[in-house]
Structure 1
Amino acid sequence: MSKVESLAVEKRQRLADAIPKEWVPSSTPAPHRLDVTGLPRESGILSDREIEITEVTDVDTLLRRLATAEWSAVEVTTAFYKRAVIAHQAVNCLTEVFVEKALARAAALDQFLKTNGKVVGPLHGLPISLKDMFNVKGIETTLGYASWVGRYAQEDAVIVEALVECGAIPYVKTNVPQSVMWTETHNLLFGRTVNPYNRSLTCGGSSGGEGALIALKGSVLGVGTDLGGSIRIPAVYNGIYGLKPSYHRLPIHGCVGPLEGQECVRAAAGPLSSSLSGLKTFMKAVLSTQPWFKDPSVVPMEWNEKLYALERHGRGEQLCFAIMWDDGKVKPHPPLQRALRMAKEALTAAGHTVTDWEPLNHYEFARLANTIWRAGSRRDIQSHVAEHGEPLLSGMGTDEDTSPGFFTGDGAKDVHAYELWQLQNKLFNMRKAYLEHWQKTASQTGTGRPVDAIICPASASVAAPHGQNQYTNYTTVWNTLDYAATVFPVTKVDARVDVKSPPHSFHSSIDKIYHGMYDPQVFNGMPVGLQLVGRPLEEEAVLAMTEIVIQALGKIGKARL
């Protein structure tokens, strides 16, 4: 057995040993069972009260019950812990479990509320899951590398500090792809995380463990990161909500990740949740701790109620949404086209204006982002596995190919500083052109303002078969522009309605691949969601406009808030 293999075996055993045996189901779901969303209720592990607690999907409702001591922090944390363990048996989503630490904090919070008659903060008693990248003092951070087993964090990440200050209870960490540079979740240390609606399909990545865990209601609110879609893709594939802020809005210090030091197109920290209210509550809470005094990358910008009231957007009375039906590179699958039509119908019925969005240089943005990332990705990623010679996966397919991959192969070449400057300058000019493109829409909206937000897919497909999620620019383009964006569930694939379309005039070879991938029977019942994109640092407005879209869909009976 190699050193890497022995590290992986030892780490998996320690994870298993950290889980109380009475929380583990007596059997795992049969391999042929694809949909495991009903497993937590069927397991016999959860009491009726624990089922009731964990099936409250609205974060604010849960917080109210904690604040009034209707439910204690200990029982809520225990309930979500047990459900998270059941989820792990079904989809392999956890990397760290620290039961004693979390329950001790929960007990202290209960005592504080009893003694003082008030909560510690706005997230009092709420269990919050964390993507494995976020440091928790005394807990390992591995990023899916067997080579990183034994690396214990010396301090909490700044965002973890903020959550603890607000009264939250970190209780589990969740799985990521090796190197965190993929939109699927698989590594040689913990293995593959799968989609709970269909385990033959991906849960997305790189915050895939978070997406799968929240979908199974083993968490109601979690923290992920998004470099090119890593919050939004898992959220939309698993039928939950996600927010990618602009990358200067929330603290990232203490989040161990790839390409550290690269400042052009950076990863942003953000929430994933079972409710839209969870995204808002998370943002308000973290910003209330003034994280810019602990992380110099954060802009000193508190939660802005004027932005949330849409004062820059006609106070939300009559908005103009632009729908991007197709980015000109890969045509979205039929269920996504139907979801876009649903959004247009609902918003029009609600009295808003809906126009079409013309993408500008989207493929060039993707190429530029990848060129910037690959300027140092090979040396960066290889340095993390050099000590033990750990193989690097070249993709997320089932064959576990370790030939040179996209970020470590011949195309990933070190560049001189001057060459990088030219790339950065090109990015600045492209961002300027896109800003002007958006501003020019003021002549078309009928509101006197430019388009208020863009609605588009977050992926060209719903959750794809393992290893086939090859195109990510429905999300990556907005990272490259640093625009704020949410994703939200709309419907589910209906094989009777979402029939395969005939071949069209393909935009590209990958467009043809995606057309061939679509099989309505394979994807039947999978979550279908959309993305709402706004301006940089307008997270409050983006959340408010997402509420408006969801409410409009709800009024025609086709979505829920």
Structure 2
Amino acid sequence: MSDSREVQPKRPASPFKTVLLKLFLCVRFYLDLLIDYIFGYFNDSKRIYIKKCTDPIIMQSATSLAKKIRNRELKSEEVVQAYVNRIKEVNPIINALVDSRYEAALEEARQIDKDIQDGTIKDTDFQDRPFLGVPFTTKESTAVEGLSFTFGIIKRKGKKAPYDADYVALIKRAGAICLGVTNVPQLNLWQETHNPIYGITNNPYNTTRNVGGSSGGEASLLAAGGTSISLGTDIGGSIRIPAFMCGVFGHKPTSHLISTKGITFRKGDEGETMVNTGPLTRKAEDLTAVLKILVSDSGDRLKLDEPVHIPNVRISYVSNPKDPTVSPFRDDTKNCLLRAVNHFEEICNTPPEAVEFEGTKFAGKLWKYWMSQESGVDFMKDITDRTGEARPVIDTIKHFTVGSDYTTSTIFNFINKLLPMPKKEWAESETEKLKKQLLEKLGDNGVLLYPSAPFPASYHHASYLRPWNFHFFVIWNVLKFPVTQVPMGLSKDGLPVGIQVVAAPYQDHLCIAVAKELEKAFGGYVPPFETS
């Protein structure tokens, strides 16, 4: 095993630079507190609490519900109706589901129950359809036949998907029943879920707070008890940011195993990409079960059925990626990582090792470069529904004067496009160097515990004042490593905290095994509502 000093050679900083950096971080820390104080002053009184959940079906894992339907302990109609009722209770408060198919879903459930009752569906059929009769939802930016497919773009308002995305077809083939689609940021490109067609989605833990993006509608609905199986996509933290802010599990798998056909404009033939599809769940056990469906014939490559003996897993951790563009850490999130490290210190044969990698501080720059290399994606054309091309300077001026079809987050993306692009040679060299260092450190039996964000979910729109706080997520898209977002309880303000668990490519089973261990030790998902 290589020493961490070989991974990250220490470079002495000049005393002047050290003092300057400390001063900058101190000012930034108190500026963030001031931002929260101002936003809180205008928003705290608007908070609405999520209704109590009285139906025990809602609190069960998707795996458990599937088993009870298979064993005739529950009917699919009961399960679907329970989730429809729950959505009707919570959605007026959180604004997560934007298009539904309740009656069609209930009819599918009744047919399943009938087929089970009369023997048309046999016990052996459940092997090929492991989620038979269990409800699911996915993002509005993913094609679900007959449901809204606008990506939050005004020019697509009213547009319905004519077919199912490939991953939607897979989960349906596994027997799951679609309830509807959920809200996204405009064209999926922001760390808050808000668009001019469907408005803003609220965090069930505190409705004045951000749910993250772009799978924010999914995470919010899941946390509020409105869906059993939740499917998201992730090109820059789009599964893990909402999972962090809404206190649920989220997994971004090893890249290039799941078809991208049906995700926004993608046809599935774009080649190398950072985008991926993965599950969000309230229970860690559902991650493996859903992931098996999504990766289909590639499941063996991920070793999802391979047992993991946690005491033998080598644990490394990064306590601070040292990205100067990201806000300073607060105690809640620092302590969250330390609790995990201390737990593995007690149970692992090899003590967790603190490591540093210089490349992590370049996460934002590297992600920007690799986003520019995404095949078949052209932001300036896509944002117009490919009817023309956006004009960043003119559209920005229009937005702040007479108004436009774009959200302020889209304007931020315009501005980012105008900023200098990292040089190709530097970006590719730094990416390769960081990947090599991490592969050497992780091997085939190691995981890296990594911070998710400097603090829990901010107030709505506060992300405009700290637009780079998503950088801790994007580095794993750049490297295409599997990573699981793990909830680790609530902060002193009652907001979710959590960490990321990273492994080398095709070692997804290690991420999920460690997530299960942390759930066992610290409780995992904590409902944002009272239960009977």
Residue pair 1:482, 1:536 contacting (<8 A) in 2 also: yes
Query: 1:406 aligns to what?
Result: 412
Amino acid at match of 2:95: N
Task: Give the SS at the match of 1:361.
Answer: helix
* CA shift for structure 1 position 334: 1.3
How far off is 1:99 after superposition?
A: 1.6
Written as runs of structure 1 = structure 2, the 5 A alignment for 1:433-452 is 433-441=433-441, 452=446
In 2, Cα distance between equivalents of 1:231 and 1:306:
20
CA 1:305 to 1:262, structure 2 compared with 1: closer, same or farther past 3 Å? closer
Q: Are 1:467 and 2:470 counterparts? A: no
1:93: Cα distance to partner? Answer: 0.6
What amino acid is the match of 2:140?
A: D
Is the 1:478–1:484 Cα contact (8 Å) retained in structure 2?
yes
Q: Is the 8 A contact 2:288 2:304 kept in 1?
A: no
- 3-state SS, counterpart of residue 532 of structure 1: strand
Distance in 2 (alpha carbons) for counterparts of 1:543 and 1:174: 25
Corresponding residue of 2:217: 209
**Percent of residue pairs identical:** 23
Per-residue CA deviation, residues 45-97 of structure 1 (Å, 9 max, x unaligned), is xxx5xx111122x2222111111222111111111012112221011111110
Counterpart AA for 1:82: N
SS in 2 for 1:223: strand
Which residue of structure 2 lines up, in the alignment, with residue 228 of structure 1?
A: 236
Which string of whole-angstrom CA distances, capped at 9 and with x for unpartnered residues, describes residues 370-422 of structure 1? 13435774423343275799978989xxx98659723323734899xxx9xx7
Distance 1:414 1:140, change over 3 A: farther
Match of 2:347 among 350, 356, 361: 350
- Which residue matches 1:551? 520
CA distance in 1, matches of 2:107, 2:153: 30
Q: Secondary structure at the match of 1:206?
A: coil
Structure 2 partner of 1:185: 193
- Encode CA deviations 1:243-268: one digit per residue, 9 max, x unaligned: 01123122221121589987555211
**Alignment size in residue pairs:** 461
Per-residue CA deviations over 1:118-141 (Å, capped at 9, x if unaligned) read 254101111001111221122231
Structure 2 unaligned residues grouped into runs of 5+: 1-42, 528-532
3-state SS in 1 of match to 2:462: coil
- Aligned positions of 1:462-541 closer than 5 A: 462-469=456-463, 470=467, 471-494=469-492, 524-541=493-510
- Check the 8 A contact 1:73/1:125 in 2, yes or no: yes
Higher RCO (C-alpha under 8 Å, 6+ residues apart)? 2
One-letter amino acid of the counterpart of residue 447, structure 2? A
Equivalent residues of 1:374, 1:413 under 8 A apart: no
CA deviations over 1:316-339 (Å, ceiling 9, x no partner): 432221121111023322101011
Q: Match for 1:282: what amino acid?
A: V
Work out whether residues 191 and 241 of structure 2, in 8 Å CA contact, stay in contact via their aligned partners in 1: yes
TM-score for the superposition, normalised by structure 1: 0.75
User: Residues 2-25 of structure 1: CA distance to partner in whole angstroms, max 9, x if unpaired?
Assistant: xxxxxxxxxxxxxxxxxxxxxxxx
SS at match of 1:550: helix
Report the counterpart of residue 14 of structure 2 in structure 1. none
Of 108, 112, 115, 2:111 maps to 108
Instruction: Give CA deviations for 1:515-552 in whole Å, capped at 9, x if unaligned.
Output: xxxxxxxxx11111111011123222221222233334
Q: Is the 8 A contact 2:98 2:182 kept in 1?
A: yes
Matches for 1:280-299 after TM superposition, within 5 Å: 280-288=288-296, 290=297
**TM alignment of 1:34-49, pairs within 5 A:** 34=47, 36-37=49-50, 39-41=51-53
Q: Tell me, which stretches of 5 or more residues in structure 1 are unaligned?
A: 1-29, 42-47, 291-299, 443-448, 495-523
Residue 350 (structure 1) shift? 1.3
Give the AA of the match of 2:446: D
Distance 1:34 1:159 in 2: 36
| Contact residue 193 and residue 214 of structure 2 kept, 8 A | yes
TM (norm. structure 2) is 0.78
SS in 1 for 2:181: strand
Residue 527 of structure 1 aligns with an amino acid whose one-letter code is P
Q: Displacement of 1:36 after TM fit?
A: 2.2
Q: SS state of the match for residue 77, structure 2?
A: helix
Identify the residue that residue 53 of structure 1 maps to in structure 2. Answer: 57
Cα gap change, 1:480/1:157 in structure 2, threshold over 3 Å: closer, same or farther?
same
Q: Tell me if 1:335 matches 2:332.
A: yes
Instruction: Tell me how far apart the structure 2 counterparts of residues 129 and 368 of structure 1 sit (CA, whole Å).
Output: 32
